[in-house]
Amino acid sequence: MSPSHRRRWPGACWRRAAVGWRRPRPTKRSAALGAKGSKDAAPPPLLVVLTGPSGVGKDSLIARLKELLPGAYFGVNATTRPPRPGEAHGRDYFFLSEAEFRDLIDRGELLEHALVYGQYKGVPRAPVREALAAGRDVVLRTDIQGARYIRSAVPGAFTVFVSPPSRAELERRLREREADSEEQIALRLKTAEEELAAAEEFDARVVNDDLEACARRVLALIEQERARPGRPPPRV
């Protein structure tokens, strides 16, 4: 992964990709956690990064957190993989051609990017920067490589590693998606074993054995981090 540089938001290529993204409106304080008003200055917004092995349930967890954190901005990742059934461009992902994705890399408009299982994935930088500037918490989902890079490149980012309850359950979820070949499932399971060994690298860890319980645990971790004294603001 190569570092990104701060440049202007891309033109025609990204305008097509960014359908459905709206510039966040400035707020007096972040409403992400429904924090009560205070005479003291509001704490800086959070940049939360959810990561974990493929198939651990990051997308389902994000969907539930959107209901629990209505004031937060949830990043929409860009990818070169084809859409899965039920996925929509601009809502679930920005589905791009490889040429379009490479153009974003060249323009420095990705917070992080990587080639994962033969497909490019990355986090658009501009929406994240503008949401934070507006005082909104930001929640991102990314793979292990991306989370490592964001943690090293963005001081103040809060990383949460999501684990499956067991290898058998992870395999069941991967097969249930019906999106991968047997070869791809085997590769994802092998990679997951290596990634699970890296869980201690991240700020917090949760087990996704029950979606609601896991989402509530993540919410509690976010609230705890938000209240941490001396927490630096994320710089994107």
- On the question of pLDDT at 141 being above 70, the answer is yes
Q: What is the mean pLDDT of residues 9-17?
A: 39
pLDDT score of 179: 67
Measuring CA to CA, which residue among 76, 120, 112, 131 is closest to residue 96?
120
Digit-coded pLDDT (tens) for 163-202: 998 888 877 878 877 666 788 788 778 878 888 888 999 9
Which domains are seen in the chain, by residue range? 42-226 (3.40.50.300)
Q: What is the mean pLDDT of residues 37-52?
A: 82
The strand pairing partners of 161, in sequence order, are 51, 205
pLDDT score of 3: 39
- On the question of pLDDT at 4 being above 60, the answer is no
Q: What is the mean pLDDT of residues 151-169?
A: 91
- On the question of pLDDT at 45 being above 80, the answer is yes
| Pairing verdict, β 93-95 and 77-79 | parallel
CA angle 33, 78, 194 (to 5 degrees): 80
Q: Are 137 and 48 in contact (CB under 8 A)?
A: yes
Q: Are 192 and 57 in contact (CB under 8 A)?
A: no
Digit-coded pLDDT (tens) for 57-81: 898 999 999 999 999 999 999 999 9
pLDDT score of 200: 93
